[in-house]
Amino acid sequence: MVKPYLNTKNSWEFTVTLVNYQTMILNELRRYVLSHREDIQAFHAYIDSSFKI
């Protein structure tokens, strides 16, 4: 996921945060998906995980 932030020079920079969906439990992944609705990969990981149960 790419997150923009304002650096000390007041210009926008972007950081890349890698999230390991495979290590999250289903409830944790659900909370992540609900708070990061733009993360399509997380949504797919949640759907895949929910079918494994």
Predicted confidence at residue 20, as pLDDT, reads 87
pTM for this prediction: 0.65
What integer pLDDT is reported at residue 17 of this predicted model?
A: 63
Q: What is the pLDDT of residues 1-53, one digit of tens each?
A: 555 555 566 665 555 567 888 899 999 999 999 998 998 999 999 999 999 86
Alpha-carbon span 43 to 49, nearest angstrom: 10
Alpha-carbon distance of 36 to 22, in angstroms, equals 16
Distances (CA, A) of 27 to 17, 18, 22: 20, 19, 13
